[in-house]
Copies of this chain bind each other. A is one copy, B any other.
C-alpha cells in the first residue's frame, strides 16, 4: 500500500486512496464507517493512516452509526468523514438530514455501484445522483460534488471539507466504481500548498453567543463542545438559540437561511470544467467516470470534423444552472450520457425550457459508456 499520507510525493493511487490523502491534507482526523464494496479501500486506508497522524478510525456497527459518530466528532471540533456505497447511503439518509438541520460540517463519500438494492455490487453506476439531492425527508439544500480522476479525488475531497467547514453543512462526494478503483499517478502537494478552510468559531464572550444567529453569509460561527460556548444542538426546528420552536416567525427564517446559505453562494460552490465548449455546436454534459469517456469522444469527434465540446460537472448540486444556461442557448444539441436512466439529463431538461435539443445516452449494465458509443451518438445528432 503506498503511503498516501506524505505530501509532496508522486504516487500511483486509486481514486479511493487519493480521497484519503485529500481528506488528511484537508485536516480530516476522524473517520467512522462500515465496509462496503466499492468504498472499502477508503476505510482500510483510513484505518492505516489516520492513527499515524493522531486521528481516529472506527468501524461502527452499521452506516447509521458511522454517520452518527461522524456528526458527534465534528461537533467536538474534529473534521470528520465517512464513506459508503448505495445501500449504506440509503441508510444514512436520516442522519444526513440531522447534519443539515444542525449545520454540522462533515463529508460523506458515496462510491456508486449498480443499484437499486444490492444491485451489482462490483460494477460501476451513477444511479444515486437524485438520491444525493433528495434522499432525506424534508426540504433541505445540499452540496454534492462529483469526481472523475484520481487527481480530483484528492483535490475535491479537500474542497469538500473546505465547503463543509465554510458553510457548516454536510458535503457529499459522489464517486463511482471506475474512478474509485482506477490507479493513476498523482503528485501530492506539500501541505503548505493545500488551501485548508476552518469553520468560523465564535469570538464573542460565551454569554453573547447566539449559536444560530443569521449572518450576511447565512452561516453562524460554530462553537465546539468543550470550548466554553455551551449550546444546544437538535434535529428539531429551532430558534436562534438552538431551542425547539413552533413559532412560524422563527421557523421560516431558519429554514430559509439553511436554503439561502447554500444557494446564495452558488458562484463559489458551483463548479464545472469546460473542454472545447466555447465554439462547440454539440455539447456533451457529463460527470464522473463518464466524463472521461466524453473527453475522448470530443477529441475523436473533432478529428472527424464534428465540433463537439464537453462540460464536465464538478458540482452536481446545487445544479449549476447559471453556468450551463448560456451554453444551451448556443449549441445545436446537448448530449447527456449517464450510467443511469437519466438523472442529470432531467435537470438539464428542466433548465432547458426549449433552448436546445437535449438527448440522453443511458447505460445501466454495469459497464462504463465507451468513447466509441458517444462518438456514434454524436454523429447522429
Contact = CB atoms under 8 A, between A and B. Distances in A.
Contact of A366 (B117, B235, B246, B353): B246
A306 interface: no
A265 interface: no
A246 B122 CA distance: 9
A118 B350 contact: no
Interface string A95-134: 0011011100000001010111111111101011011011
Given A138-B114, A251-B365, A251-B366, A87 B94 contact: yes
A181 to B, nearest CB: 16
A255 interface: yes
Contacts of A252: 364-365
A137 B87 contact: yes
Nearest to A92: B90
A6 interface: no
A138 B341 CA distance: 9
A118 B251 contact: no
The 10 closest A-B pairs by CB, nearest first: A115-B138, A116-B138, A86-B137, A117-B235, A248-B365, A118-B235, A97-B116, A130-B134, A90-B94, A354-B354
- By secondary structure, the A interface counts as mixed
Contact of A125 (B121, B138, B235): B138
Interface string A140-173: 1000000000000000000000000000000000
A105 B93 CA distance: 24
Interface string A341-381: 10100100110111000000000111100000000000000
Contacts of A234: 118
Given A127-B139, A128-B138, A120 B236 contact: yes
